[in-house]
Structure 1
Amino acid sequence: MKIALWSVGKAHEAYVKAGIEDFSKRINNYFKTEWEIIAPPKNAAKLAADVLKKSESELILSKLQKEDFLVALDERGTQLTSEGLATQIQRCANMASKRMVFLIGGAYGLDESVLQRANFQWSLSKLVFPHQLVRLILAEQIYRACTILNHEKYHHQ
């Protein structure tokens, strides 16, 4: 199974880039991993929030394959423990999914059409984080889940 990490927005900022690259490299020891940064429309600043979300959703949905298992990060989603995330990843691998896509939406979140397509909606926290930090947290948590699945010492209980 491949793990794809998608984020709507700009390239990784320098202050998180090294961490994202490090955790992505570590995840590659368990699952092939790829990042895709989805650029918002060029006129994004001039668009109303709902129009921008709709525009982003069309791009996102066009990139998804029918068999992709989509995890949409959304503040209204289900919160998981690290062990719970590991279980979700294992379930997806057991279903023989070719690709598990973790999606971080744009500045205004994800359009309802993307949330309806999602196989799972996940909330990292009730707190709001900058998108750049969400990328780093996501990469670290996926790595942590991989170590939990492999009974390694990284995650202490």
Structure 2
Amino acid sequence: MKILFWSVGARHDASLVKAIDDFTQRVSHYYGCEWKLVPPPKNAASMPVADQKDAESELLLKSLDPVDYVVLLDERGKMLSSPELASVIEQRAINGAKKIHFVIGGAFGVNDAVRKRADLVWQLSKLVFPHQLVRLMLAEQVYRACTIIRGEKYHHV
């Protein structure tokens, strides 16, 4: 199985690159893992918010295969504990999923088409974080889930 982290926005912030790369590499010991950064539309600054969300969402939807499992990070999603996230990943692996996509939308989120396409809408926290920090938190939580699945000592309850 392969885990794909997708994020709409600019390259990883230089101050976070090392940490994001570290956790991505750690995940890759369990599953194939990579980042795909989807650039916002070139004229995003002059676009109405709804048009920007639609343009970004269209780019995301075009790249998804109908059989891919999609986890959308969204502030209106379901909160999961680390063991619950581990269970989601483990069940996909057991059921023979080829890919799990973890999707972080743009600054204004995604449109309803992406939300409907998602197999799981996950709320990382009730707090709002900068997208760059969410990337790091996502990679760390997926790594934590991998260690939970394998019964390793990284996660302490």
Runs of 4+ in 1 over 4 A off after TM superposition: none
Structure 1: segments with no counterpart, 5+ residues: none
1:46 paired with 2:61, answer no
Match of 1:74 in 2: 74
Match of 1:91 in 2: 91
Match of 1:103 in 2: 103
Distance 1:41 1:95 in 2: 36
Distance 2:98 2:149 in 1: 18
Once the two structures are TM-superposed, the CA of residue 107 in structure 1 deviates from its matched residue by 0.4
Q: Is the partner of 1:142 in helix, strand or coil?
A: helix
Q: Is the partner of 1:101 in helix, strand or coil?
A: strand
Aligned residue identity for 1:97: A
What is the TM-score normalised by the length of structure 1? 0.99
Distance 1:140 1:26 in 2: 9
Q: Is the partner of 1:15 in helix, strand or coil?
A: coil
Q: Is the partner of 1:51 in helix, strand or coil?
A: helix
What is the TM-score normalised by the length of structure 2? 0.99
Aligned residue identity for 2:13: E
Aligned alpha-carbon RMSD (Å): 0.5
1:36 paired with 2:36, answer yes
The aligned runs of 1:1-157 (5 Å cut-off) are 1-157=1-157
Once the two structures are TM-superposed, the CA of residue 60 in structure 1 deviates from its matched residue by 0.4
Structure 2: segments with no counterpart, 5+ residues: none
User: Cα deviation per residue 1:58-97 (whole Å; 9 max; x = unaligned)?
Assistant: 1100000111100000000000000010001011112211
Q: Is the partner of 1:14 in helix, strand or coil?
A: coil
